[in-house]
Amino acid sequence: MAEAGLNQKENVLNDEALFENEDQDFEFDEGGLELAAKEELTREGGDGPAPFRSGAITPDGLIDEDFEAEIGTPSLNNYFQDDEETDEEFQDIAEHKILEVAGDDLYGRKVIVFAACKLPPSAQIDHQRLLEYMKHVLDQYVENDYVIVYFHFGLTSKNKPKLTWLIQIYRELDRKYKKNLKALYIVHPTNFIRILWNLFKPFIRSVKFGRKIMYVNYLHELKEHLHFDQLVVPPLVLQHDAKLVASNKPKYPYGQDSSDAGTLPTQQYGVSLQHIKSHYGCVIPPAVQQTVDYLRQNALDVEGIFRRSANAVQLKAVQKKFNHGERVDFAVEGDEHIPAVALKIFLRDLQEPLLTFDLYQPVLRLHTVEDERRVAEVRRMLHEELPEDNYQILKFIVQLLTEVVDHSAINKMNSSNLAIVFGPNLLWPKGQASLSSMGYLNNFARFLIDNYSQVFDR
């Protein structure tokens, strides 16, 4: 046993030497950009952790894990309290924008983006502090289902971290971080990833974790799973992807029939509220009315409601029915999380957020308003600046959320938990929301829930 341990340690040291050799640029720089999503990496392993998957992927097998009884309570600041102390603590790391939050994916899960090309030269960054910053960011979201998008292009011999640091990341990001990670998309993988996978096999005990890691060879493959327009893709990554597409000429994964030749008159997802009202003749969209009604009658005591994901195939079928003007019988679906996620997706898919782009900056500035004036200012904003239809839909949804909170002793979803889920789905900017702004959006959602009677009663 001791000899085996020494051999393993020796192997790790040899592997680290490979990383430290400045002549070994083949897997980092532009000359080593051969796609690696093939051969060993795409085969199912007969023993040990399963290799990564690649190509067209669906999260169906990734979202059926058991929900933890103790989901915890995320820490939110008091309403609109400035988070300057935390920002200042990691300002030297955050300013590089290596890590960003990009809203939710198509299944209602938070999207965390890591861009390797934004890593500064190793001599200019403290990787230990980077790890602490990563944990600080993830701590805000790991109690919910979430996904990570890793843009690999741009990792070079100058900015690559040590192998020991990568091993430290895997060990320190323990089950707390891994249990609700539903997918890790590795964009533009190279042979370096294959080397890493082989090196990490001795340390990875979880087959389930290995199956969460997926290759994405071209940016357009992300569109099947993410709101691509929410991702602020680094220019270097965009340029690299364009070169790959021009060189390899991949087949675009969506057929002619996938677009349905434009927007349907009955469509509800991915359109404007005006489009829905013009066809159905009602202020509350049928998708919202039906999901809220079902949840109110059947799901107030469901643990983790709005926090868990749902089966992707069923979700797509539900969206298709709503888009064709059909009524959905959620009792037949057999899962209360399906209408919950369908409601979140409806909000996120709107062409303009329910709270409108115009209210984004005013909401961010609310932390500067005195406490005693805050309720009055929020009432004024919603009554005077929000379109009447948007106001009525918002009130309808927030009322349901207050009822969920009333049952929080059973469902474990208090206003803080719901705020983290709904904040980014009620309001977002035209570009990508910064990490600092996400806190304000969440706090605003929590404020609406906790002060419902004061804010919405005219």
- pLDDT tens-digit series, residues 60-88: 333 333 333 333 333 444 565 544 445 57
- Give the phi and the psi of residue 100 in degrees, each rounded to 5: -140, 160
- pLDDT tens-digit series, residues 321-378: 999 999 999 999 889 999 999 999 999 999 999 999 999 999 999 988 888 899 999 9
Counted residue by residue, the chain has a size of: 458
pTM for this predicted structure: 0.65
pLDDT > 90: what percent of the chain? Answer: 47
- pLDDT tens-digit series, residues 134-170: 998 888 888 878 899 999 999 998 999 888 888 888 7
State the helix-helix crossing angle for 286-298 and 388-406, rounded to 10 degrees: 10
Cβ atoms of 186 and 216 within 8 Å: the answer is: yes
- Return the closest-CA partner of residue 71 out of 423, 411, 401: 411
Is the pLDDT confidence value at 229 over 60?
A: yes
pLDDT score for 193: 78
- pLDDT tens-digit series, residues 374-418: 999 999 999 999 999 999 999 999 999 999 999 999 999 999 999
Cα separation, 190 vs 34, in Å, equals: 6
Cross-strand bridge partners of residue 101: 112
Phi-psi label, residue 20: left if phi above 0, alpha if psi -120 to 50, beta otherwise: alpha
Average pLDDT over residues 256-275: 77
- pLDDT tens-digit series, residues 271-291: 999 999 999 999 999 999 999
pLDDT score for 167: 80
Amino acid code (one letter) for 326 = E
What confidence category does residue 201 fall into, taking pLDDT thresholds of 50, 70 and 90?
low
Please, what's the b/e burial string for 439-455 (b: 16 or more CB within 10 A of its CB; e: otherwise)? bbbbbbbbbbbbbbeeb
Q: What is the 3-state secondary structure (H, E, C) of the chain?
A: CHHHHHHHHHHHHHHHHHHHCCCCCCCCCHHHCCCCCCHHHHCCCCCCCCCCECCCCCCHHHCCCCCCCCCCCCCCCCCCCCCHHHHHHCHHHHCCCCEEEEEEECCCCEEEEEEHHHCCCHHHCCHHHHHHHHHHHHCCCCCCCEEEEEECCCCCCCCCCCHHHHHHHHHHCCHHHHCCEEEEEEECCCHHHHHHHHHHCCCCCCHHHHHCEEEECCHHHHHHCECHHHCCCCHHHHHHHHHHHHHHCCCCCCCHHHHCCCCCCCCCCCCCHHHHHHHHCCCCCHHHHHHHHHHHHHCCCCCCCCCCCCCHHHHHHHHHHHHCCCCCCHHHHCCCHHHHHHHHHHHHHCCCCCCCHHHHHHHHHHHHCCHHHHHHHHHHHHHHHCCHHHHHHHHHHHHHHHHHHHCHHHHCCCHHHHHHHHHHHHCCCCCCCCHHHHHHHHHHHHHHHHCHHHHHCC
- pLDDT tens-digit series, residues 27-64: 443 333 344 444 334 433 444 444 444 433 333 333 33
